């Protein structure tokens, strides 16, 4: 059993780097890493990859993943997560690493337990994942084309999931004098937050006459 790996440990050094990889496919991030993530791009760290084969390390989160379409470079994803951590047993904290072959190692699953990866004749490379930009175009457009808030007047946003994609509530009525926001009662559970340039927060939520009335400060 042999594992080829680049060990990732210690703090980031802040040095800018670049690399290349091939997107192996897309995965449902909700079932892989947690709820509310949606579609993720997956790239595998192959030992037979290109001369600039890359993985993600400390400080790479929120970095850009570009694809070349003809002569144009397009933003395809935003770095989100990597496989791991890994372990050689079910004890201890394990380690982070860019792994060419996970076979025979233990990997922490979504429940927080160490799960073994079968040692197969073929390599099982670790992966990194990026949020797929094209899967969130509607939300991006709603933010770009929505009203620009001032320092004192917020925009109400909501989501069906606390970690999910929040969108502007375009029918919400903001009264900056009374510091209230009025919106029709939702048909199901909703989570609310404020989008504003200033440090504003929701203070209370009440039901009044078939509406929700939120106060902010």
With a pLDDT cut of 70, the percent of the chain lying above it is 90
Does residue 23 share a domain with residue 124?
yes
Together in a domain, 121 and 204: no
Residue 140 lies in a domain: no
124 and 160 both lie in a single domain: no
**Banded pLDDT at 1 (limits 50, 70, 90):** very low
- Whether 151 and 124 share a structural domain: no
Shared domain check, 25 and 119:
yes
Residue 141 lies in a domain: no
Q: Are residues 127 and 211 in the same domain?
A: no
Q: How many domains does the chain have?
A: 2
Using the predicted structure, report yes or no on whether residue 121 has a pLDDT greater than 70: yes
Range(s) of the domain holding residue 176: 146-216
Verify that 158 and 102 share a domain, yes or no: no
- What Å distances lie between residue 66 and 23, 39, 133, CA to CA? 11, 16, 10
Same domain, 20 and 84: yes
Which of helix, strand or coil describes residue 133? helix
List CB contacts of 54: < 8 A, sequence separation 6 or more. 18, 19, 20, 21, 45
Domain boundary among 116, 135, 154: 135
Q: Where is the domain boundary, 73, 106, 135?
A: 135
Q: Is residue 173 part of a domain?
A: yes
Residue 41 has pLDDT above 90, yes or no: yes
List, for residues 184-209, the tens digit of each pLDDT value.
Answer: 999 889 999 998 767 889 999 999 98
Task: Tell me, rounded to whole angstroms, the distance of Cα 38 from its chain centroid.
Answer: 9
């Amino acid at each position: 059993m042999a594992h080829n790996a680049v060990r990732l440990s210690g703090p980031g050094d802040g040095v800018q780097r670049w690399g290349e990889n091939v997107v192996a496919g897309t995965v449902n991030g909700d079932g892989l890493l947690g709820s509310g993530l949606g579609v993720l791009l997956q790239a595998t760290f192959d030992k037979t990859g290109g001369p600039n084969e890359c993985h993600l390390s400390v400080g790479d989160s929120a970095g850009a993943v570009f694809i070349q379409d003809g002569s144009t470079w397009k933003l395809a994803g935003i770095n989100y997560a990597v496989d791991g951590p890994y372990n050689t047993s079910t004890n201890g904290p394990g380690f982070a690493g860019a792994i060419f072959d996970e076979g025979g190692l233990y990997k922490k699953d979504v429940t927080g337990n160490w799960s073994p990866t079968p040692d197969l004749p073929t390599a099982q490379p670790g992966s990194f994942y990026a949020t797929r930009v094209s899967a969130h175009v509607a939300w991006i457009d709603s933010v770009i084309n929505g009203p620009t808030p001032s320092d004192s007047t917020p925009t109400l946003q909501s989501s069906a999931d606390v970690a999910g994609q929040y969108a502007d509530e375009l029918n919400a009525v903001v009264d900056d004098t009374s510091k209230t926001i009025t919106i029709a009662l939702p048909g199901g559970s909703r989570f609310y937050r404020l989008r504003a340039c200033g440090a504003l927060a929701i203070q209370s939520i009440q039901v009044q006459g078939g509406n929700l009335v939120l106060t902010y400060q």
